[in-house]
């Protein structure tokens, strides 16, 4: 089971303090944690429900369609009437 962000922070705090108070011991202990980390599993606090991933896939599909179908607009004075000075950046 993965650690929560708060638990990770607490452990990091302990590790930092140990480095300050006893660097030799900290280095010795850190040698046990060597090795490449390829992928960190997300902390799972509830049983996963695949249904919630459907909206994510749907969203990606809609965005892909928008990206392909919508005609490009220049965003300059030609197609969007006012100049950027007046309207494009902020209300």
Partner 1 sequence: MGDSFGDRPRGRTAAENAAAEEAVIRDRAAEEIAEEHGKLGLPAAISLIVGNIVGTGVFLLPASLAAYGTVSLLAMALVSVGAIALAVVFGRLGARLPAGGGPYAYAKDAFGEFSGFWNAWSFWLTAWIGNAAIAVVWVNYVNYFLRWESPAAQIALALVALWIPALINLSGVRNIGAFAVVTTVLKFIPLLFVAVVGLFFMRGANFGPFVATGGSWIAALSTAGALALFIYSGVESVTIVAERVRDPARNIGRASVYGVLICAAMYMLSTVAIFGTVPHEALANSTAPFADAINGMFGGSVGGGIMAACAIVSGIGAINGWTMLVAEMPMAAARDGLFPSVFAARSRRGVPWFGIVAGTALTSLVVFYNYLGSEGGFDRILLIATFTTVIPYFFSACAQLFWLVTGARRVEGVRLGRDLTVTAVAILFAFWMTYGAGTQAIFVGFLMLLVGIPVYIWTKAKRGEYGPADEVPGRSTMEEEK
The number of beta carbons lying within 10 Å of the beta carbon of residue 80 is 13
Cβ proximity to partner 1, 38 vs 47, nearer residue:
47
d(CA 88, CA 77): 10
Interaction with partner 1 in 29-58: which residues (CB under 8 A)? 30, 37, 42-48, 52-53, 55-56, 58
38 or 46: CB nearest partner 1: 46
The size of the interface with partner 1 (CB under 8 A), counted in residues, is: 48
Per DSSP (E only), the strands in 1-91 are: none
Residue indicated by tokens 């179908």: 69
Measured distance CA(67)–CA(61) in Å, rounded: 10
| Interface residues toward partner 1, by CB under 8 A | 5, 8, 12, 16-17, 19-20, 23, 26-27, 30, 37, 42-48, 52-53, 55-56, 58-59, 62-63, 66-67, 70, 72-76, 79-91
């Amino acid at each position: 089971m993965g650690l929560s962000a708060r638990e990770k922070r607490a452990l990091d705090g302990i590790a930092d303090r140990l480095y300050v108070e006893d660097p030799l011991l900290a280095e010795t202990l850190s040698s046990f944690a060597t090795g490449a980390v390829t992928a960190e599993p997300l902390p799972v606090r509830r049983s996963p429900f695949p249904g919630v991933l459907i909206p994510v896939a749907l969203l990606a599909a809609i965005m892909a369609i928008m990206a392909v179908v919508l005609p490009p607009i220049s965003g300059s004075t030609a197609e969007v009437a006012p100049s950027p000075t007046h309207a494009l950046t902020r209300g």
